Amino acid sequence: MLRLLANRFGAMLLTMLCLTLIVFFLVNLEPNLRKLSISQTNMRASDEMIERWLDYNGYREPFLERYAQWLGVMKKQPARDVDTGEPKPRFSFCDEPPVATYSGILQGNLGCSTMFRQPIHERLLPALQSTGILMFWVMATMVPSALVIGILAGMREGTNTDRTLSVVSITSTATPEYVSGVVFTVIFASWLGWLNGSAVTATTQGVSVYNFALPVMTMAIYGMGYIARMTRASMAEVMTSQYIRTARLKGLKFHTVVLRHALRNALIAPFTVIMLQFPWLLTGVVIVEVMFRYQGFGWVLVEAAGNNDIDMLLSCSIVSVLVVLSTQMISDIGYAYLNPRIRVR
């Protein structure tokens, strides 16, 4: 088991390295750099001014060097004032050390946000917290309901219960967040007026059913369908297996058979599925936060991308890659742990 862990961890690090390199490459493509410098100087800057700005701020140095600096394995040189030659911070809103130091990711320095005019972590951490709250409530609603629907449907495969629940699940896998968001807002905010169509107040005044229910519902619906379908399939497969027949032929009551024998085996697959939903939930978070104006991680990402805020984009990609890879790892470990055939030799 330990070997498995070490292997996966190594793969994860390598993936993170590759992915951040790719993002760094994409973010520093010529058109994106132009966009950045235009937004930082002014709309009518000439090409020459743009070039000077980029050069001054160190965007023309060799690619791999800049990547290594960002990582923190090469020392970052301080920017110098053009006239005096004294070290001067590049941006007024971020501190920078006056001497060459290691100040990259590995040292915990995420950089400077050109869009928000703040150090990254001042913007990002609270945003992550807000998103965390959202994700918590989404999981709390989505997972139990999906599991219950899946188990009920799989338990009684082929009956009307199963068919109805399956149709419900299939429908919900067909509603991405921008669709369900629109529909729910129309129904609950416009027609019925029960819920608030915007979640801005959630960040300012705190979370409540009134301002938070819509975003949570919107996100939960899409994932719920898929998890329910997978749970149903797993449950149906288990219920037709031989060892369930053995349990039945031992004379056990139906609900004992289900609860004690079937569930334990049927829930292994859904667990991994739930973990592997996280990459898609990240996309959902972005859509939902933009739609309901909730200033969490997704909203920050969209703003950063629209303005090519390089450091912020890089930090966001680290966060998302970290989330995706760790959930993958948890999924693998969980599967190995839950499945006695792998856990016990």
Q: Does 255 bind another protein (CB under 8 A)?
A: no
- Range in contact with another protein (rule: CB under 8 A) among 44-52, 110-118, 139-147, 177-185: 177-185
Does residue number 130 form part of the binding site for another protein (CB under 8 A)?
no
Q: Does 251 bind another protein (CB under 8 A)?
A: yes
Output the smallest distance, CB 18 to another protein, in A. 6
**Other residues' Cβ atoms within 10 Å of the Cβ of residue 74:** 16
Q: Both tokens of residue 279?
A: 């990459």
Question: Of 10 and 132, which has the nearer Cβ to another protein?
Answer: 10
> Can you list the alpha helix ranges (DSSP code H) found in 188-307?
200-205, 209-239, 242-249, 254-256, 263-266, 268-276, 278-291, 297-306
Binding of residue 1 to another protein (CB under 8 A): no
Binding another protein by CB under 8 A: which of 78, 104, 181, 296?
181
> What are 69's two structure tokens?
């600096």
Residue 291 binds to another protein (criterion: CB under 8 A): yes
**Nearest-approach distance from CB 114 to another protein, in angstroms:** 16
Residue 31 interacting with another protein (CB under 8 A): yes
Per-residue binding letters, 83-122, with another protein (x by CB under 8 A): ----------------------------------------
Instruction: Identify which of residues 17 and 100 has a Cβ nearer to another protein in the complex.
Output: 17
C-beta of 7 vs 107, nearer to another protein: 7
Q: For residue 175, give the DSSP letter.
A: -
Question: Residue 204 Cβ, how far from another protein at the closest point, in Å?
Answer: 19
By C-alpha distance, which of 131, 128, 127, 109 is closest to 119? 109
Q: List, in sequence order, every residue forming a beta bridge with 87; answer none if it has no partner.
A: 80
* Helix or strand (DSSP H, E) at 338: helix 310-338
Instruction: Classify 252 as helix, strand or coil.
Output: coil
Size of the site for another protein (CB under 8 A): 79
Query: Cα angle vertex 328, ends 15, 126, to 5°?
Result: 85
Q: Which of residues 186-245 bind another protein (CB under 8 A)?
A: 186, 189-190, 197, 241-243, 245
Site track 259-288 with another protein (rule: CB under 8 A), x = hit: --x--xx-------------xx-xx--xx-
Q: Can you list the alpha helix ranges (DSSP code H) found in 72-208?
A: 120-155, 160-173, 177-184, 200-205
Of 68-76, 131-139, 178-186, 202-210, the segment contacting another protein by CB under 8 A is 178-186
CA torsion, points 72, 74, 76, 77, in degrees to nearest 10? 170
Q: What is the DSSP letter of 101?
A: B
In the complex, the smallest distance separating the C-beta of residue 89 from another protein, rounded to whole angstroms, is 28
Is 10 one of the binding residues for another protein (CB under 8 A)?
yes
In the complex with another protein, the residue whose CB is nearer, 44 or 345, is: 345
**Nearest one of 234, 215, 225, 229 to 142, comparing CA atoms:** 225
